[in-house]
């Protein structure tokens, strides 16, 4: 079955370290998204991609970067982790139709100490 997987599921790191969270989907979806979820804020969009070599900033992109070298993967990198980036991170993907269903990965819980 097609799916979307995130790794690691839990990560503890120190401030200032570079961290990369992986997202891999097997639906062959062109659209991929990264969100962070914090209490009281819901799901906020960090970065998104509409295809290979395409990346766009979302509403909370500062301190994060993504790259899209193939259809299946959209890794999220925290260049220099900060305590404010402690959060639960979700990756999602969707097809090439406006407002189409987004399928979410299980999430990565990141703690920056």
Question: Rule CB under 8 A: which residues touch other proteins?
Answer: 31, 33, 35, 40-45, 48, 50, 58-59, 90, 94, 96-107
> In the complex with other proteins, which residue's Cβ is closer, 62 or 97?
97
- Rounded CA-CA distance 93/105 in Å is 9
| Closest separation in Å from C-beta 8 to other proteins | 15
Task: Provide the b/e sequence for 30-53 (b: ≥16 CB within 10 Å).
Answer: bbbbbbbeeeeeeeebbbbbeeee
Which is nearest to 106 in space by CA: 18, 42, 22, 20?
Answer: 22
Cα separation of 58 and 66, whole Å? 11
Nearer to other proteins by Cβ, of 85 and 102: the residue is: 102
| Pick 42 or 62: Cβ nearer other proteins | 42
Q: State the minimum distance, in angstroms, from the CB of residue 112 to other proteins.
A: 20
CB of 12 to other proteins, least distance (A): 18
């Amino acid at each position: 079955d097609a799916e979307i997987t995130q790794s690691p599921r839990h990560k503890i790191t120190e401030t200032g370290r570079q961290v990369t969270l992986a997202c891999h989907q097997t639906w062959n979806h062109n659209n991929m998204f990264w969100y962070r979820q914090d209490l009281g804020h819901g799901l906020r969009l960090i970065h998104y991609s509409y295809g290979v070599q395409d990346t766009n900033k979302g509403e909370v992109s500062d301190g994060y970067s993504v790259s899209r070298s193939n259809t299946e993967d959209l890794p999220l990198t925290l260049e220099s982790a900060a305590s404010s980036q402690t959060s639960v991170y979700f990756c999602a993907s969707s097809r090439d139709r406006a407002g189409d269903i987004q399928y979410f990965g299980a999430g990565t819980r990141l703690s920056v100490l």
